[in-house]
Amino acid sequence: MPSRFVPPGGRFAFRAHVSGKTQLKVNASLAVIAASAAALAVLAGCSSNKTPSTQDDGVFTYLLDRKTTWAEDKIDTMPPLPQASNLIAFNVSQNTPLTFAVDKTSLTVGNDGVVRYVIVATSPAGARNVNYEGIRCDTYEWRRYASINDDQNGWDQGSAFDFKRIENGELNAYQAALYQDYFCTSKLVVGTAKQIVNNMEYKRTQSSINLR
């Protein structure tokens, strides 16, 4: 019986009497085995890698780990005091004696996603409470920039405060009414200032639009 030749590296050479056809089949089988072994080695290397971190490794950027920094637009000037002809009334609650209206000329949508507006709350006796405010759709918050002064002829920015949570269920929760009915949907501003004003003028609330 012909002896086997062991070449450097330890692989066995096949006997000389093996046919050429059989030799091709064997070589093909060895190629498949080698490819499978290489694939397993790659998979093993992948499984041993460290889990993704918040560090940018220069190859992958993990978008979910990024923290976006929100910056509020700078408010340099206050809007004009509201005129009765520019007020758009809206419903807050059937139980409140106050009436609420937004000055349509004051309503803006900032690059920061804040809807700003002048609100006028009027009592049955005619007393008015006028504020310049803003609502953030993404966080369900509101803030005040100024209130009308005691002489009713200018703005008092000393009454301003930063964003805070909108309160639900209050008798005079007009911020919640504006947020839900006209300003926001799915934590986004519903549209441009013109679209919001148009919806308010025609009483097209978000609930009525969604029913169509």
Share of the chain above pLDDT 90, in %: 62
Of 106 and 36, more confident = 106
Share of the chain above pLDDT 70, in %: 67
pLDDT digits (tens, 9 = 90+) for 116-172: 999 999 999 999 999 999 999 999 999 999 999 999 999 999 999 999 999 998 889
Phi/psi at 121 (nearest 5 deg)? -110, 125
CA distance 167 to 157: 22
The amino acid that residue 60 corresponds to is F
CA distance 119 to 131: 5
pLDDT digits (tens, 9 = 90+) for 61-96: 445 555 579 999 999 999 999 999 999 999 999 999
Using 50, 70 and 90 to split pLDDT, how confident is the model at 6? very low
Q: What is the residue extent of each domain of the chain?
A: 7-45, 84-210
3-state secondary structure 29-61: HHHHHHHHHHHHHHHHHHHCCCCCCCCCCCCCC
Over residues 101-108, mean pLDDT: 99
CA distance 126 to 131: 16
Q: Which of 91, 102, 173 is nearest to 132 (CA)?
A: 102
pLDDT digits (tens, 9 = 90+) for 158-203: 999 999 999 998 889 999 999 999 999 999 999 999 999 999 999 9
CA distance 134 to 136: 7
Q: Which of 160, 159, 137 is nearest to 150 (CA)?
A: 159
